[in-house]
Amino acid sequence: MNLQDASILVVGAGLMGAGIAQVAAQAGHAVTLFDNRPGAADAAKAKLAQTLDGLAAKGKLTADAVQATLARITPVDALAAADLVIEAIVENLDVKRALFAELEALLADDAVIATNTSSISVTALARGMTKPERLVGMHFFNPVPLMKLVEVVSGLGTDPAVAQAIFELSARWGKTPVHARSTPGFIVNRIARPYYAEALMLLQERAATPEVIDACLRSAGFRMGPCELMDLIGHDTNFAVTNSVFAANFFDRRFTPSLVQQELVDAGYLGRKSGRGFYRYPEGAPALPAVDATAPIAAQLVVHGTGWVADSFAAALPDAVRERDSDWTGLSADGRQLRLTDGRRATDLGRGSAVFDLPLAASGDIAFAGDAATGAWLNVLGLTPRAVADVPGLVVARTIAMLINEAADAVQQGVCDEAGADAAMKLGVNYPAGPFEWLARWDRRAVAALLDRLDQHHRGERYRVSPYLQ
Ligand code: NAI
């Protein structure tokens, strides 16, 4: 099957439909655009004309390209036949099913229907269709013209040839398509849950403030910390997605929503859009105070362990002694230890000890727990230590371990492959690396051990280790 020259009907001329029509027209397809709200399709085209003119004024498009793109988009007053229909209407199972029934009465037998749903099962949407094999998920991300990822979602009845044709079409449109099996949250919305959930758990445990959590994850390479990101998304929206993934997984406790977020929603503290969430707006996350970087260390420093963290410490501290045989990673001096978190707490390590977070970057904020003077050694490495409560896995290590764990489960369950998970998280939510790239850099056993210790600490379903990592 080849959709390269397909005529396309986009149904729904809202935020997503307008973007999809633009991308399809720019790729050379004849596009008709329908919306059941009178005037909506014309308005969407007029708005697109403005956007494209703006791009032309900046020299990013030629006037000819603008004209050609607009000429390919025709707003229509009624559903019309096409080789491919892309549906981007309201997120409601019954309304989408009714649309598909109307479409099937109108379309040729070999026409394909793609749905941009972000949360409804493609398998469920196909039920009742005359030809359920022609329905496939084509999940774009907002804003459509800029975001590269397309999750190509197959339901139980989707014809693999149809999924492959949509995959190839997306690639031709300059997107990076990834195959996904229709399961709650597909790839991105599922694997991303722990990014928010672990921050909310840290807040619930009163382990750290939103400012510290955000600073540590930003330093680990994320563009936004989880708290400021939830403020941007809107707590109502983020909470609704978490609830729907929780319910769709038969209330698997691993996906349990947070009372901390429920409170924000109840209060109407929805984030940026309401002027207040974790932070107040327009100010946003306050800067953390500077840390006194003068931390003289009297005794000889010893770098313990092997692997990239120990190697980077040894490189930063040329005068330190190296103790490769230690079964832990970090620094010691004067009988005191500063250990990379392996899920054990500083309290478990004896007096004067501290544990520090996974140092994904060579500089910036990093969480530690335990003895403050020992934690201050991080300064000599060029890092900025931030004290948090003595909780297993601290901030970054625990978050990354849980992202890896969720991705591992998704692969184990055939939702996607490792490369697909990595591409999806980097392109769909701009993560600095994919979960399996982190796993390759860290260590499978270390991740599993850290999760096991979180599991022992919390005793519940939340931190169970994926069989894929065992
Ligand atoms: P929107 O509200 O901006 O646009 C939906 C449009 O569909 C509206 O113009 C509405 O009049 C029209 N519509 C509703 N029912 C219709 C029907 N029966 N027939 C024809 N037109 C109808 O919504 P948005 O954000 O564009 O979302 C559309 C779909 O895309 C939803 O399924 C949503 O879950 C999904 N999606 C949204 C993303 C986002 O960031 N907003 C991201 C990825 C997917």
Query: For this structure, is 189 an active site residue?
Result: yes
Residues 10, 15, 19, 25: what is their CA dihedral angle, to the nearest 10 degrees?
40
- 43 Cα to the center of ligand 1, angstroms: 15
Helix (H) or strand (E) holding 114: strand 112-115
On the CB side of 359, CA atoms within 13 Å amount to 26
Which domains are delineated in the chain?
8-182 (3.40.50.720), 187-288+395-470 (1.10.1040.50), 302-387 (no CATH)
pTM of structure:
0.94
Residues 449, 181, 416, 239: what is their CA dihedral angle, to the nearest 10 degrees?
-50
CB atoms < 10 A from the CB of 218, how many?
18
Query: CA-to-CA distance for 460 and 458, rounded, in angstroms?
Result: 6
Label residue 64 exposed, middle or buried (CB < 10 Å: 0-12, 13-18, 19+). exposed
Query: CA-to-CA distance for 325 and 359, rounded, in angstroms?
Result: 21
Tokens of 321: 């002694």
CB atoms < 10 A from the CB of 440, how many?
13
Question: Whose CA is closest to 228, among 262, 195, 179?
Answer: 195
- 356 Cα to the center of ligand 1, angstroms: 45
Residues 338, 341, 345, 351: what is their CA dihedral angle, to the nearest 10 degrees?
-10
- 36 alpha-carbon distance from chain centroid: 32
Please state whether 334 falls in left (phi above 0), alpha (psi between -120 and 50) or beta: left
Bond from prior residue into 257 cis (ω within 30 degrees of 0): no
Whether residue 156 has its Cβ less than 6 Å from ligand 1: no
CA distances from 342 to 28, 338, 348, 356, 358 (A): 53, 12, 12, 9, 9
Q: What is the pLDDT of residue 460?
A: 87
Q: What is the pLDDT of residue 295?
A: 62
Walk along the chain (470 residues) in steps of 10 and give the mean pLDDT of each run.
96 97 98 98 98 96 96 98 97 97 98 96 97 98 96 98 98 98 96 98 98 98 97 95 94 96 98 97 92 74 95 94 96 93 93 95 96 93 96 98 98 98 97 98 95 95 95
Query: For this structure, is 139 an active site residue?
Result: yes
- How far separated are the first and last CA of the chain, in Å rounded? 40
Query: CA-to-CA distance for 173 and 27, rounded, in angstroms?
Result: 6
DSSP-derived 3-state class of residue 396? helix
User: Which of 139, 179, 235, 304 is the catalytic position?
Assistant: 139
- 110 Cα to the center of ligand 1, angstroms: 25
DSSP-derived 3-state class of residue 431? coil
Q: Which one-letter DSSP state was computed for residue 355? A: E
Q: Which atom of ligand 1 is nearest to the CA of 99?
A: 18
DSSP-derived 3-state class of residue 384? strand
